[in-house]
Amino acid sequence: MPATIVDSFIFRDIFGSEAMRQVWSDENRTQKYLDFEAALARVQGRLGVIPQEAADEIIRHCSVAKIDMDKLKARTEQIGYPVLGVVSQLNALCRDRLGEFCHWGATTQDVTDTAVALQIREALDLVEVELAAISAALAKLAQRYRDTPIAGRSNLQQAIPVTFGYKMAGILSAIERHRERLAQLRPRVQVGEFAGAAGTLASLERDAMATQQGVMAELGLGQPLIAWHTIRDNVAEVGAFLGLLGGTLGKISMDVKLMMQTEVAEVYEPYAPGRGSSSTMPQKRNPISCAYIHGAVSVVRQHAAALMDAMIADHERSTGPWQIEWIVLPEAFCLTAGALKQARFLLEGLEVDEAQMRKNLDITNGLIMSEAVMMGLGPYIGREYAHDLVYDICREAIRINRPLLDLLAEHPEISAHLDREALARLCDPANYLGQAGVMVDRVLAARRS
């Protein structure tokens, strides 16, 4: 029975996706083993390393549909690795002992590592699609709300006005960097393995490097410069990428959660009847996607650390660190797929309340504009003195609960330089957005299609 969140019948499509589970399924992994064996036989038959008749017979049986999975499970438990169980069944399927030529010169880890490289490629394809969709959703929000003022917040306190488009463009810039990272890491991690027992390919008397090159070409993978049986930075880099990506998705979920608070109410997750309701409080509309994103990406970050632990491998073939990858890599990808799916759903249907954003800008009676006032007064009375003067007036405005503009206009040192109309312009959030719009435009212009 399924026991983990990514395989749970109830939770699996919340914390993961069917497509990503398929990538890391027993069936797909086993098929990847067979893809390696077929490629190896095809190349070695062409080079004359093994008889062409044997190559053809081996290739004919390299289908997971022909593998007895129950038998494979039992053999894996007996031996400790699944590859030999697959090779044994493949051998038995071939006629006239031609199957004895399968797996010629290879070792278990060659097959396993190459299969993982193929799975990583498929998994990254899925990630790439979701990233493109999230990028498009963020770009749409950034453009639509380019000039919509909203309170910028520092230490959870109102700071100065920004725009909601600026907020979305900031996250978009990170998503675009992740898309760039993904493109850059592919050539490093989509590399196969065919190196033999200790990595030297001593098992092949001739055409060893030609075989290696041909197998990788058949599979569409890069040819390694040297064996990487215990040099695992490539897999750890994938984990680091997923951890970084998860951090950005977590940033999205954190901001949306905070903006959904009753006292803030500036944005909401997409509405669906009953979604986010409470079992006891009928009025509630809880953040659901945000909560799932937060939980998933937190675990992915721990898995990224585990994959770095797996780098510390002994000698030419390791005694345990390798198995860390078996445990955490599939779950890291599945949880990332779930977080991506939830983030896409959230952003494509995000409900934005511009009126509430404006209302929140006004809840401090203009105090959010204190920096603008200070900078406006600076040329007349000095920036430092203006800071202290505005600070004192802000404290007084809070104490007597009056608008900042009124107290500024009544102060003789200020009114001597700026009349009420000029002060009103300084106190208008729409007039203190700096280069927010320019920065939004820059991010949108730099976005890859």
> Are the C-beta atoms of 99 and 91 separated by less than 8 Å?
yes
Active site residue 370: no
Let me know: does 36 contact 215? Beta carbons within 8 Å: yes
Closest CA to 237 of 273, 295, 280, 186: 186
CA separation for the pair 428, 426 (Å, rounded): 6
What is the C-alpha to C-alpha distance for residues 126 and 326, in angstroms, rounded to an integer?
A: 20
Long-range contacts of 75-84 (CB under 8 A, 24+ apart): 81/108, 81/112, 82/29, 82/30, 82/33, 83/33, 83/108, 83/111, 83/112, 84/108
**Of 95, 275, 278, 395, which is the active-site residue?**
278
Q: Give the span between the Cα atoms of 81 and 78, in whole angstroms.
A: 8
Is residue 298 annotated as a catalytic residue, yes or no?
no
Q: How far is CA 180 from the centre of its chain?
A: 12
Strands (E), 168-293: 267-268
Q: What's the Rg (C-alpha) of the chain?
A: 30
Catalytic residue among 60, 121, 153, 317: 317
The answer to whether 346 touches 252, Cβ cutoff 8 Å, is: yes
Which residues are identified as catalytic? 278, 317
